[in-house]
């Protein structure tokens, strides 16, 4: 997989973020185990608890199209390098990861960086 393409889609969709309160746009693009890509951006609400993260937006798009297993996700914000997923998104990623080779792709100083989900969420919750 060319992770540059995944990151490019995350960068592009970050431009569509609706962030009037935080001013912190984020874009994400997931790669499913069927090699399909789905992008999402964060969007906020005046009732802050209703805000949706880019990662969960992208995963929701994949699920709506019938996908249930994700191999990788690229996450980007123009506001910071290595824009890590929040704790809630880490757990959602854990729920839908295809396998232990799952990659979280971030951007730092113009270069892609890679993290395993288990590093960011050891002992994720399972049923």
Q: Which residues are catalytic?
A: 55
Beta bridge partners of residue 112, listed in sequence order:
107
Q: Helix (H, G, I), strand (E, B), or coil: what is residue 81?
A: coil
Strands (E), the chain: 27-32, 37-41, 70-76, 103-108, 111-116
Beta bridge partners of residue 115, listed in sequence order:
104
Tokens at 55, concatenated: 């990662």
């Amino acid at each position: 997989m060319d992770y540059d393409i995944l990151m490019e889609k995350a960068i592009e969709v970050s431009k569509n973020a609706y962030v009037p309160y935080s001013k912190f746009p984020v874009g994400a693009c997931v790669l499913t185990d069927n090699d399909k890509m789905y992008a999402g951006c964060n969007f906020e609400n005046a009732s802050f608890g209703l805000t949706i993260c880019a990662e969960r937006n992208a995963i929701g798009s994949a699920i709506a199209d019938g996908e249930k297993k994700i191999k990788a996700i690229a996450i980007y914000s123009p506001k910071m390098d290595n824009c890590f997923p929040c704790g809630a998104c880490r757990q959602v990623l854990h729920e839908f990861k295809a396998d232990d080779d799952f990659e979280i792709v971030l951007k730092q100083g113009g270069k892609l960086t890679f993290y395993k989900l288990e590093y960011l969420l050891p002992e994720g919750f399972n049923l």
